[in-house]
Structure 1
Amino acid sequence: PAVEAGEKLGFLPGDLQEKVDPYLRPLYDALYDIMDYERVERFLERRIIEIAPLAFMRGRTLGDSFIILDEGQNTTSEQMKMFLTRIGLDSKVVVTGDITQIDLPPGKRSGLVEARELLSGIEGIEFVYFTEKDVVRHPLVKSIIKAYDERNKKALME
């Protein structure tokens, strides 16, 4: 979801695609990490791969697909429900998110947090949790995450 962590979308220059592209950049980067540029572009052109803002999912049924919702912690309850009810036959869905990085306005509940509470225990739905040991970025990131986690644990104990 295109949830602002700073400047509002409406104030950014350009048309809708130009405003949304920065939010989709991590998805393009991940694709280019696993496939060469020409192949990615060919798949995008043939619509074998589609990258779309969450707002464009309403009314669709995504059958025979592998669907990824990135940054799921920034969905609202309504957005998460809308997304999860798009799943068609022979599809698999992965929702990624970090509940320590929620950018929703105060008072808005994360759809990912709510989905975890509502859907845990339903057959066919699994939740996988990563720790600093799973980090594949710069080695310092592990230490950074660990430091924040330790601070948060201390705060809970106070």
Structure 2
Amino acid sequence: PYLRPLYDALYEMLGFEYVAKLIERQIIEVAPLAYMRGRTLNNSFIILDESQNTTVEQMKMFLTRIGFGSTAVITGDITQIDLPKGTKSGLTHVIDVLKDVPGISFTHFLSKDVVRHPLVQ
């Protein structure tokens, strides 16, 4: 159930049948972070969603999966961290550690960028 929002977004953008075809052909793979250990993702476009809820160790594990020819996009909202008290978010950690690294950039959105119902803004 926790992968449902990702599937919903894919279906909305591309349509159910097309997404099913891309998944069947293994062009799109949706995988929980817990199953990434030991993999190297070469020539891939990799999205880590809801990264505010990764630990520092999980974020490191994710970043070290990125292989040659790959691009990674990491999304998250630091105002929605659900980790236990005292656990540092992997997202806030990489923002601090990687902010000055060439080739890495961060995009911060404002409330006006929210594309949900106006009540959410």
TM over 0.5: yes
Aligned to 1:69: 48
Structure having the higher helix fraction is: 1
Aligned to 2:38: 59
In the alignment, residue 122 of structure 1 is paired with which amino acid?
V
1:39 to 15, 18, 37: 18
Structure 1, unpaired ranges of 5+: 1-21, 143-158
Q: Which has the larger radius of gyration?
A: 1
Structure 2, unpaired ranges of 5+: none
Supply the distance in 1 between the matched residues of 2:114 and 2:85 (Cα, whole angstroms).
29
Matched, 1:49 2:28: yes
Supply the distance in 2 between the matched residues of 1:108 and 1:141 (Cα, whole angstroms).
27
Structure 2 length-normalised TM:
0.98
Aligned to 2:62: 83
State the Cα distance separating 1:136 from its structure 2 match. 0.7
State the Cα distance separating 1:70 from its structure 2 match. 0.3
Quote the sequence identity (%). Answer: 66
After TM superposition, the runs of 4+ consecutive aligned structure 1 residues lying more than 2 A away are none
Q: How many residues align?
A: 121
Structure with larger RCO (C-alpha < 8 A, sep 6+): 2
Structure 1 length-normalised TM:
0.75
Matched, 1:98 2:70: no
